[in-house]
Amino acid sequence: MPFVGGFRLVSLTVATCVTLAVASFAEADQKADDEAYERPYTICGPNQVDRGTYNGYRRYHAYCHVCHGPDGLGSSYAPNLVESLKVMKRDDFSQVVAGGRQNIQAGKESVMPAFYEVADVMNYLEDIYSYLKARSDGKLGRGRPERCPS
């Protein structure tokens, strides 16, 4: 029965194509999700950011800038976060901010405090990340941003 065999072959091929198409759609979806997770900010004009990112700017300058410098650019004490976020993933960022980190080497003590008990930071970690990521991606300049018109 060559006809039946041929039909089977065709339907198998069709099924395989459908499966592959669905798989690549799912992959594209996953990629878009990952992208949105790593770049949660919205830029809607020169120096204009969404409400969360703007809030992140304010929180950063209230809690982080004493050590990490204005606009995330680092100081002699703490690293430049605009550079750090070029390689650091969002989950690692959250972990360091919540848990802190210490580096005691050759008499030089470098301490990143743990913020897990500071609600004003922990509740807005995504906003702080968005602000620093927008800076790090080169999408947002120095200084106070404006808010997107709502």
DSSP annotation of 134 reads H
The values of phi and psi at residue 99, to 5°, are -95, -15
Q: Least distance to ligand HEC from the beta carbon of 80, Å?
A: 8
Q: Examine residue 128 and tell whether it contacts ligand HEC (CB under 6 A).
A: yes
CB 64 within 8 A of CB 120: no
Out of 41, 54, 57, 63, the only residue in the binding site for ligand HEC (CB under 6 A) is 63
Q: Examine residue 77 and tell whether it contacts ligand HEC (CB under 6 A).
A: yes
CB 57 within 8 A of CB 145: yes
* Residue-wise DSSP of 17-81: HHHHHHHHHHHHHHHHHHHHHH----EEETTEE-HHHHHHHHHHHHHTHHHH-GGG---SSS--H
For 94, the 3-state DSSP assignment is helix
Contact region with ligand HEC (CB under 6 A), list: 6-14, 35-43, 76-84, 142-150: 76-84
Q: Examine residue 68 and tell whether it contacts ligand HEC (CB under 6 A).
A: yes
Q: Least distance to ligand HEC from the beta carbon of 112, Å?
A: 3
**Per-residue string for binding with ligand HEC, 97-126, x by CB under 6 A?**
x---x-x------xxxx-x-----x-----
Residues in the site for ligand HEC, rule: CB under 6 A?
A: 63-64, 66-68, 77-79, 81, 84, 88, 93, 96-97, 101, 103, 110-113, 115, 121, 128
